[in-house]
């Protein structure tokens, strides 16, 4: 049976399974110009099937080369308005799971729509039937990579007269806006519970509240509304950056957050429980170190945080994603390839290569493939992670 036929069969089974089971980065602030009209050729949005602890395990990913299998776990990025030929070639070869976009990729709606279509056409030529994961950070307020909704920051949403309704409205608006641009994943909402006014996560209004019950309710409302609008949501940054001081930025340098385990679980992880119950499609791991859980490794490189906390204690069964692999917090953890392998070994499904250089994605893919071939990464576990990503992709447009 050809690779294409096997992929098609796999995805058909995934879609039937999902239909039966479903009840229906650290961001850099930037404020874009007023929204132009989104591309009119985008397909209509369909709700994202919730990820639940009871969801069936997807079938095994079909036989692919090691590079192709590895590429199904890597998200690329590029600079400027035009996707480079090297990235298109990687997608045509079946060696990419998706692309993350930044403000520099956007000139106007027509140009951006053409770029998205180039990427989609490259995927169609690959013989891989599952759509690419096309994503950005569209949290609201200062952190919006593309023009348009949500206009309010998370903090402004939390201060609204009816915060829950405002969060749901923001989620719906974010989903419709990104879907109109042809995207299918938002790296939002932030579920960090800020501890001190003006600290790292509060200074740009990225946290809904200092009250975990408020973050819980508003985050879940945003997730549910956005996914009903057809765009997968990403809860971040597990297990929480709410105690990071103003200058403690994992994008730039290592950060250690000495929060006791009881507080981590009762305050900072609390919003994730309802997000998991709401079927959030992805969870992004933090690059901070949490000595109460694992004193030696950042959360996104820690099997303890992944397996015992997120998968075990909270019962999450969806896709996990790293924060940006080029982050300064990982300066002591080798090359991009080393970091990708360590993250995969820890249990992260999807690697986010966000330096706007496609070579970074290629390096991560090559390193994952080499580790798979050498036996450093277990093939069964590796394929299970790829299956989770494939299932998510198959549920999106």
First to last CA, the chain: 26
For residue 63, what pLDDT is reported? Answer: 72
Structure confidence by residue, pLDDT tens digits, 34-92: 444 444 444 556 787 666 433 444 444 457 899 999 999 999 999 999 999 999 999 99
The secondary structure of residue 30, as a DSSP letter, is B
Domain boundaries, given as residue ranges, for the chain: 3-394
Report whether 320 contacts 44 (CB < 8 A).
Answer: no
Report whether 175 contacts 150 (CB < 8 A).
Answer: no
Q: Which strand (E) or helix (H) includes residue 298?
A: strand 294-298
Regions of the chain where pLDDT drops below 50: 1-26, 31-42, 52-61
For residue 50, what pLDDT is reported? Answer: 64
Report whether 339 contacts 325 (CB < 8 A).
Answer: yes
For residue 35, what pLDDT is reported? Answer: 42
For residue 17, what pLDDT is reported? Answer: 40
pTM: 0.88
Total residues belonging to the chain: 397
For residue 76, what pLDDT is reported? Answer: 98
Report whether 333 contacts 260 (CB < 8 A).
Answer: no
- Can you tell me the distance from the alpha carbon of 180 to that of 43, in angstroms, rounded to the nearest whole number? 8
For residue 46, what pLDDT is reported? Answer: 73
For residue 44, what pLDDT is reported? Answer: 56
Contacts of residue 20, defined as CB under 8 A and 6 or more positions apart, other chains included, come to none
For residue 28, what pLDDT is reported? Answer: 52
- Can you tell me the distance from the alpha carbon of 370 to that of 100, in angstroms, rounded to the nearest whole number? 24
What sign does the dihedral 236-241-246-252 (CA atoms) show?
negative
Percentage of the chain modeled with pLDDT above 90: 83
3-394 sits in which CATH class?
alpha beta
């Amino acid at each position: 049976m050809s690779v294409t036929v096997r992929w098609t069969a796999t995805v058909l089974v995934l879609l039937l399974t999902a239909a039966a089971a479903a009840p229906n980065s650290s961001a850099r602030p930037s404020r874009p110009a007023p929204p132009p009209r989104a591309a009119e050729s985008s397909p209509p949005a369909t709700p994202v099937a919730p990820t639940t602890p009871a969801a069936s395990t997807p079938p095994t990913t079909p036989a692919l080369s090691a590079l192709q299998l590895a590429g199904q776990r890597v998200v690329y990025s590029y600079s400027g308005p035009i996707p480079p030929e090297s990235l298109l070639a990687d997608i045509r070869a079946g060696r990419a799971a998706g692309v993350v976009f930044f403000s520099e990729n956007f000139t106007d709606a027509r140009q951006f729509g053409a770029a998205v279509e180039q990427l989609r056409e490259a995927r169609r030529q690959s013989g891989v039937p599952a759509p690419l994961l096309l994503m950005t950070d569209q949290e609201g307020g200062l952190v919006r990579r593309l023009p348009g909704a949500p206009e309010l920051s998370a903090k402004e949403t939390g201060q609204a007269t009816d915060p829950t309704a405002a969060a749901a409205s923001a989620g719906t608006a974010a989903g419709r806006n990104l879907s109109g641009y042809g995207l299918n994943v938002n790296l939002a909402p932030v579920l960090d519970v800020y501890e001190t006014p003006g600290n790292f996560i509060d200074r740009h209004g990225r946290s809904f509240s200092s009250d975990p019950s408020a973050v819980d309710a508003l985050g879940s409302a945003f997730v549910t509304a956005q996914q009903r609008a057809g765009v997968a949501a990403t809860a971040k940054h597990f297990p929480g950056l709410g105690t990071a001081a103003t200058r403690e930025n994992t994008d730039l340098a290592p950060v250690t957050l000495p929060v006791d385990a009881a507080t981590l679980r009762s305050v900072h992880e609390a919003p994730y429980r309802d997000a998991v119950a709401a079927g959030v499609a992805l969870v992004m791991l933090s690059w901070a170190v949490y000595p109460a859980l694992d004193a030696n490794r950042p959360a996104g490189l820690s099997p303890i945080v992944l397996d015992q906390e997120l998968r075990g204690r909270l019962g999450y069964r969806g896709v996990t994603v790293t924060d940006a692999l080029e982050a300064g917090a990982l300066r002591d953890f080798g090359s991009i390839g080393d970091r990708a392998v360590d993250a995969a070994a820890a249990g992260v499904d999807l690697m986010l290569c966000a330096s706007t250089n496609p070579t970074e994605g290629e390096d991560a893919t090559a390193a994952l493939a080499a580790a798979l071939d050498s036996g450093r990464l277990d093939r069964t576990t590796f394929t299970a992670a790829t299956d989770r990503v494939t299932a998510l992709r198959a549920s999106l447009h």
